[in-house]
Chain A
Amino acid sequence: MTDSSFSSRIPTAQQSLKIEKGAAHEIGGLVDIEINGKKFQVPFGTSILEACKEFDFHIPTLCYHDDLCIAGVCRICVVEVEGMRTLQSACTYPITQSIKIKTTSEKVRKARRHIIDLLLSDHYGECYSCVRNNNCELQSLAKEYGVDFYRFGHVKEPFYEIDNSSYSVVRDMNKCVLCRRCVRTCIDLQEVGCLEALERGYDTKISTFMDKPLAEVICINCGQCINRCPTGALRANDPSDAIWEAIDNPKKHVVIQTAPSPRAAIGEEFGLPPGHSLTRELNTALRMIGFDRVFDTNFSADLTIMEEGTELLLRLKAALVDKDPNVKLPQFTSCSPGWVKFIEHFYPDYLDHLSTAKSPQQMFGALLKTFYAQETGIDPANIVTVALMPCSAKKFECNRPEMNDSGYKDVDYGLTTRELAQMIKEAGIYLPELPKSNFDEPFGEASGAGLIFGATGGVMEAALRTAYELVTGREVPFENLNITPCRGMEGVREASIKLENVKPEWSFLEGVDLKFMIAHGTANAKKVMDKLVAGELNDVHFVEVMACPGGCIGGGGQPIPTSPEIRAARARAIYEEEAGLPIRKSHENPHVKYIYQKFLTEGPCSHLSHKLLHTHYTKRGNYIA
């Protein structure tokens, strides 16, 4: 996650008081406390909430989130601390001396009930017409506290217009409870800062710069705010009605590509614990729903490795052999559309560092309406391409005006994991118990390298497996191909591999220490970019950036809730599935080989591949486009 040293842009009021676990003992050792009459010891600086969690005293929370700094604004977690006149919010209160806590006294229960009553009085909308029905923290609190009437009334008319302007995120502020998790997500976790509290008092609302529609402000569409919204105030822009319509239209040939991350998380929507991959059950479900073909985005992930890896080697040659001063290194990955929009807005002068390779989603879309149409003889005008993605930014990406290289809209719809789960449920299917089935030809089964794109560091690992072998003729020097320095959840990671005994044609790389960095969450990307701007990355060759914490498995379209543990479990599921696959290197994917023989005959980074598989970027800066 992000470092404990939070951005200077976050008000101190919202910064964590947390003292690092290890440091606690050094500062003051253990503190004696009493919770509901029972005695315990906690490290100095532990919050009351953490202490209560540790010793199994349930405290309700709303504005608290595992990923975010502390706000202490909802007040639902208040507890009684002996000797203090007022109740204290458990999430904010650091234990620095011996205290006695009551978590269920009359005063506490009454206050919590009042707070829930107040929130409900100001929350417009009915649970049964809400996308978060049965997965809403406000609803759960109301149930937990036995709310059976609106003590302080209930708003009967919506006050705010729903903001549908963004391809990715829909804002319905009538359902907002002002917990400000989205604000903290946007500014702290992502360093974007397009959401902020506006107005004051009862008129306070979460909004954008000058109250503009979301599509007109600097939003990177990452959807991390959606994942952390406790209610239905933020949701993704759902295309499922249009997809159903296409499926129900016999003239349309509806195909779906499925990204690696949704399969590792969709089980959560059906009640499974995080960390169960349902790859092949999902294939069956998609066919049952009515998709004509089910393809694996990992195929185009493998293709991305070929294109992006070749591009990197070309850049290295240009820099090392041709001494071309215009070549930009390090090369940055470009498969995360949230990251692409982030760099377009915040570092518009550094776009030449981005790989020109399209994301796997867009590569696949362009091939489906060209190569696939050609192979099957289906009129591309009748092909509807759906992309199952863990991502809300993919919805924006497929609507970029430049993404029409096939002559049609390359990808028609970006569909999130949550939205697909809803479609599957609507079709009356219980996903976890379906029989397994494989992906369809002509793209078939992909390599494990494509699969691990789903987790942070995966693209780097996949690229290294291919690039190293291409250059040296040997496999990467890691046990079972597992390049462990690429893995893990640290915000920014860096490592290097030395290229030795290279093949003759790559002699200019002999002895080069291939240095790479990995960042996930745009706050971490910002750290890397600031280093680049400061000229501190001159010895780095390749940087992977994913906009979302944890990479795609933590994407803005993934099941809610999210937490570091949940994301780690999803990543584990991906790596476990990958370890058992027969092909684990992109360049060994037979379907990739086939497409370079049959269709992209001039090879990676050639003329046709540039037309279909590469793109360009827009210098957006602080202005909207």
Chain B
Amino acid sequence: MPILNKPIIFDKNNFGNGFEKGLNGRPMDIVLEIRESGLKGRGGAGFPTGTKWMLAATAVSEKKYVICNADEGEPGTFKDRMLLTEFTEELLQGMILCGYAIGAKEGYIYLRGEYEYMLSHINGTIQKFHEEGKLGKNILGKNFDFEITVRLGAGAYVCGEESALIESLEGHRGEPRNRPPYPVNTGFMGYPTVVNNVETLVTVPIIINKGAEWFRNIGTEKSRGTKLLSVSGDVEKPGIYEVPFGTKIIDMLDMVGAKDTKAVQIGGASGICIPKEELHRNLSFEDVPTGGSIIVFNKSRDMLKILKNFMEFFTEESCGQCTPCRIGNKKLLDGVNMIEQGKCSVKYLKELIELGRTMQVASKCGLGQSSPNPFISIMTHFGDEILAEHY
């Protein structure tokens, strides 16, 4: 499953000897290079990676951890699947470089339960690294030890949230923690922990090899570099694409062969629904951020059904811990069902949108804070169409 367009940074030639180069320098050089590059987390939230690493690197602790978030669970995203199988070595390099940079000796790959079939491949690559002296004791003679362990998730969407992931990794029920404190301060087993997305970590050896300056020249001022997109839905060529940040949605749609597009769901179920009128907007942290999921809907699609699907997903996938998310999503789903049956008053619909806004600010974690997004954006943009159809 290759990248369908011409890769920009995810080209094997771009890795060079970034790994060795990184380990030859001082740990802080890596942190500074990453910070200089402007790399932001590719999982969707877009926290500056260099800042995260700096916080972990400067934390005083006997133990630190690196965790690769490979719990790719956002509906419509599958780009990490490709990276995990085709850029496995580069991912391990990124984790080792991170460990070296922040002073960690152990790393974990939290692998989505459904990706169990990759386990032998990833473990084989880890074994190969051990044989090549790239993992274990005294890596490449640099007097630096690092181990990587793969742990499987058990199928909960919420475990993609970093603090829930850590809970799960510790053997507890996967539920988000209260923040602050953040994982860089109090993470796995209470120690400073960097949790990064697969794509972020694979990007690291590229930046070390090609330099921060090279990376900064791609993308926009606030969103440096490129984004891997998982494109699905009503398009001729679904699959994985790499685009520089700042790419207009409409240009991306042209590339993938989308016709009669009515709306694009960007960022998966927890993302937002962009209607036809707003396709000139661009993919970037400052405009339309995305973890990579692009689902395209053409004019034949019933937006209410799409919304119902999302709300069923959240009602089930909420961890059930906090009130706004646990009950709020159910109320939004009930509302969708009421609309479907023509039983939802306009007043109640407004009430539900207000509830959605409360959920956005009062939920405990990113799941509850973003789960009302599709309800609010679909109802805002397609409310008239939906009500016309069902009333």
Contact = CB atoms under 8 A, between A and B. Distances in A.
Contacts of A196: 173
A201 B180 contact: no
Given A94-B180, A201-B319, A121 B364 contact: no
Contact of A11 (B170, B330, B363): B170
A13 B178 contact: yes
A201 B326 contact: yes
Contacts of B354: 110, 114
Contact of B172 (A13, A86, A92): A13
Q: Is the contact region of chain B dominated by helix, strand, or loop, or is it mixed?
A: helix
B318 A200 contact: yes
Contacts of A12: 166-167, 170, 172, 177, 186, 190
A121 B352 CA distance: 14
Contacts of A177: 323
A585 B328 CA distance: 60
Contacts, number: 133
A118 B328 contact: yes
A454 B93 CA distance: 63
Nearest to B332: A152
A141 to B, nearest CB: 12
Interface residues of A, number: 42
Contact of A119 (B180, B314, B327, B329): B327
Interface in B336-368: 351, 354-355, 358, 360-364
Interface stretch (A73-81, A333-341, A374-382, A518-526): A73-81
Nearest to A203: B320
Contacts of A17: 178, 180-181
Contact of A86 (B180, B186, B318, B369): B369
B178 A70 contact: yes
A361 B350 CA distance: 60
Most chain A Cβ neighbours within 10 Å, of B177, B322, B323: B323
A201 B329 contact: yes
B35 interface: no
A114 B320 contact: no
B186 A200 contact: no
B310 to A, nearest CB: 13
B321 A86 contact: no
A115 B320 contact: no
B364 A75 contact: yes
Given A110-B358, A200-B156, A201-B315, A73 B180 contact: no
A469 to B, nearest CB: 50
Nearest to B360: A86
B316 interface: yes
A70 B364 CA distance: 13
Given A197-B173, A200-B317, A13 B167 contact: yes
A118 B363 contact: no
A418 to B, nearest CB: 28
B186 A73 contact: no
Interface string A128-157: 000000000000000000000001110000
A13 B180 CA distance: 11
A124 to B, nearest CB: 13
A111 B186 contact: no
Nearest to B359: A114
B320 A200 contact: yes
A114 B331 CA distance: 11
A32 interface: no
Contacts of A87: 361-362
Contact of B323 (A11, A119, A153, A200): A119
Contacts of B190: 12
List the 3 closest pairs (A to B, CB-CB), nearest first: A204-B320, A92-B178, A13-B177
Interface of B: 156, 163, 166-167, 170, 172-173, 175-178, 180-181, 186, 190, 314-324, 326-331, 334, 351, 354-355, 358, 360-364, 369
Given A75-B323, A86-B363, A201-B318, 9 more contacts: A73-B364, A75-B322, A76-B323, A87-B362, A110-B358, A115-B358, A118-B355, A152-B355, A201-B320
28 contacts: A11-B175, A13-B163, A13-B176, A70-B178, A75-B323, A76-B323, A78-B362, A86-B369, A89-B178, A89-B364, A94-B181, A110-B354, A111-B324, A111-B358, A114-B354, A114-B358, A118-B328, A119-B323, A119-B327, A177-B323, A200-B318, A201-B316, A201-B317, A202-B315, A202-B329, A203-B316, A204-B319, A204-B326
